[in-house]
């Protein structure tokens, strides 16, 4: 890595069809970071998704599907090291070594684990040790910055804690990373106004079928202000989604129409549907090209894994020597 450059690393689980919340909350900011002058490592966290024991065929297809969607959205494999977690098995060796430094109580306190148990899920050991695998993901690449949503903040704290414990015990070998927590305002609302999430069945898919997507947009919940009355854009889900895609002038124009009255929510929804199809038309085309060439996508992931493995190997060799194995 060039002097002064920092390594940015993030992962996404291939756990479902990507939606506008994932795109505006995670994918777009990650892709924009490619222009920041830092060195980006992004990966598909298929071993993390395995903690939910999905159907094998589905897990494999979703992993490739997320890769295709990311590439279609502008992830540039020339500039970014893009790979599948399971193509770098070295990460498990570091996971074990870190596990031996991890107090059980630290994992028992993790909210995401506690929440799942509270919802009645019977945990497997993988779910319990999930944050240790995540720490290994981050530490094995000597990552400096980790952009994640707020829900992952505690896992970053665990990662930092483990890196510090390791360095105290064995010498300054691991980089202690910083979280880059994405801003709260970036929460994208779903059809019902709650946070858009596949768990709430309120999503607009990123690459949904056009007609079905239009119908979904027409179903977005609005208040019952009559057609002729002025409307408040700042409390409207349709307007919130529109602002993510439109230019400043277009947003100002729609705002004025809300405030003036005489415009029904149906019109705002039409404007949103138009904007959605314009915004993603080019990306859809690129996605079709990638879908038609699965070999190319696999080659990209393999080339990324080879680059990632070289970095992982180097860290692992130093770690193994430090702890006295091998």
Question: How far, in Å, CA of 300 to CA of 83, rounded?
Answer: 8
Write out the binding residues for ligand ADP, residues 266-325 only, by CB under 6 A: none
Position of tokens 């779910």? 127
Binding mask 9-48 for ligand ADP (x = CB under 6 A): ---xx-x-----xx--xx----------------------
In sequence order, what are the residues at sequence separation of 6 or more whose Cβ sits closer than 8 angstroms to the Cβ of residue 255? 233, 239
Is there binding between residue 136 and ligand TRP (CB under 6 A)? no
Q: Which residues are catalytic?
A: 116, 195, 198
Cα 90–chain centre separation: 22
Binding mask 202-221 for ligand TRP (x = CB under 6 A): --------------------
By rule CB under 6 A, what count of residues binds ligand TRP? 12
Write out the binding residues for ligand ADP, residues 155-214 only, by CB under 6 A: 186-188, 195-199
Write out the binding residues for ligand TRP, residues 33-52 only, by CB under 6 A: 45, 48
Is there binding between residue 129 and ligand TRP (CB under 6 A)? no
State the binding partner of 243 from ligand TRP, ligand ADP, none, CB within 5 to 8 A by kind.
Answer: none
Closest CA to 154 of 208, 96, 109: 109
Closest CA to 302 of 1, 136, 82: 82
| Cβ pair 308, 86 in contact under 8 A | no
Distances (CA, A) of 228 to 29, 259, 262, 265: 38, 11, 4, 11
Token readout for 25 is 């909350």
Closest CA to 58 of 70, 68, 46: 46
Is there binding between residue 59 and ligand TRP (CB under 6 A)? no
Is there binding between residue 101 and ligand ADP (CB under 6 A)? no
By rule CB under 6 A, what count of residues binds ligand ADP? 16
Least spacing, CB of residue 53 vs ligand TRP, in Å: 16
Closest CA to 11 of 29, 26, 1: 26
Least spacing, CB of residue 115 vs ligand ADP, in Å: 12
Helix (H, G, I), strand (E, B) or coil at 4: coil
Least spacing, CB of residue 170 vs ligand TRP, in Å: 22
Is there binding between residue 146 and ligand TRP (CB under 6 A)? yes
Question: How far, in Å, CA of 296 to CA of 313, rounded?
Answer: 26
Q: Which residue is nearest to ligand TRP (CB)?
A: 11
State the binding partner of 198 from ligand ADP, ligand TRP, none, CB within 5 to 8 A by kind.
Answer: ligand ADP
Least spacing, CB of residue 20 vs ligand ADP, in Å: 8
Residue closer to ligand ADP by CB (options 46, 90) is: 46
Is there binding between residue 271 and ligand TRP (CB under 6 A)? no
E strand intervals along the chain: 7-12, 39-44, 81-84, 145-148, 178-181
| Cβ pair 251, 243 in contact under 8 A | yes
Work out the angle at residue 271's Cα, subtended by the Cα atoms of residues 270 and 273, and round it to the nearest 5 degrees. 65
Is there binding between residue 308 and ligand TRP (CB under 6 A)? no
Question: How far, in Å, CA of 78 to CA of 304, rounded?
Answer: 9
Residue closer to ligand TRP by CB (options 156, 236) is: 156
Least spacing, CB of residue 4 vs ligand TRP, in Å: 23
Sites of contact with ligand TRP (CB under 6 A): 9-11, 13, 45, 48, 134, 137-138, 146, 148, 152
Sites of contact with ligand ADP (CB under 6 A): 12-13, 15, 21-22, 25-26, 149, 186-188, 195-199
């Amino acid at each position: 890595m060039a002097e002064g450059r920092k390594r940015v690393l993030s992962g996404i689980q291939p756990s479902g069809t990507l939606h506008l919340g994932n795109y505006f909350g995670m994918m777009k900011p990650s892709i924009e970071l490619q222009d920041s002058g830092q060195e980006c490592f992004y990966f598909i966290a298929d071993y993390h998704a395995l903690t939910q024991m999905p159907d094998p065929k589905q897990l494999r297809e979703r992993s490739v599907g997320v890769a295709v969607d990311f590439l279609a959205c502008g992830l540039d494999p020339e500039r970014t090291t893009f790979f599948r977690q399971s193509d770098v098995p070295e990460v498990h060796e570091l996971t074990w070594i870190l596990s031996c430094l991890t107090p059980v109580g630290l994992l028992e306190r993790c909210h995401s684990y506690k929440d799942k148990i509270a919802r009645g899920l019977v945990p497997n050991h993988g779910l319990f040790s999930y944050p240790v695998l995540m720490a290994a993901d981050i530490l094995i690449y000597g990552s400096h910055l980790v952009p994640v949503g707020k829900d992952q903040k505690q896992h970053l704290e665990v990662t930092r804690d483990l890196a510090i414990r390791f360095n105290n015990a064995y010498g300054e070998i691991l980089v202690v990373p910083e979280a880059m927590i994405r801003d709260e305002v970036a929460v994208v609302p779903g059809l019902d106004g709650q946070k858009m999430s596949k768990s709430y069945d309120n999503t607009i898919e990123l690459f949904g079928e056009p007609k079905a997507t239009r119908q979904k947009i027409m179903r977005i919940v609005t208040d019952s202000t009559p057609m002729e009355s002025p409307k408040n854009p700042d409390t409207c889900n349709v307007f919130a989604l529109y602002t993510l895609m439109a230019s400043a002038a277009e947003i100002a124009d729609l705002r004025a129409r809300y405030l003036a009255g005489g415009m029904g929510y149906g019109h705002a929804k039409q404007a949103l549907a138009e904007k959605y199809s314009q915004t993603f038309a080019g990306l859809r085309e690129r996605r079709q090209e990638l879908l038609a060439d699965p070999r190319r996508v696999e080659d990209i992931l393999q080339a990324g894994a080879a680059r990632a493995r070289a970095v992982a190997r180097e860290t692992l060799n130093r770690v193994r020597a430090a702890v006295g194995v091998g």
